[in-house]
Amino acid sequence: MARGNQREKAREKNLKKQKQSPKKKDDGVTFKKRAESDAEIMRQKQQKALEKKAEPSS
């Protein structure tokens, strides 16, 4: 029981730190917008790959 006070102080410090920092990182991009953006990038990559495959190798 010698460390009880140290444990309580650490718990108080951690609670204070958690209240100050935001719980969720919000970069302004919703999941749906991010998915649409990623899908568009993949479509462009696929189109480039198809064009590269279609052009003659010689």
Identify which has the larger pLDDT, 2 or 18.
18
The single residue listed with the structure tokens 């279609």 is: 54
Q: Encoding tokens for residue 29?
A: 């991009």
The rounded distance, in Å, linking the Cα atoms of 55 and 53 is 6
pLDDT in tens, 23-33: 666 667 788 99
pTM for the complete prediction? 0.46
Give the model's pLDDT for residue 21.
75
Identity of the amino acid at 9: K
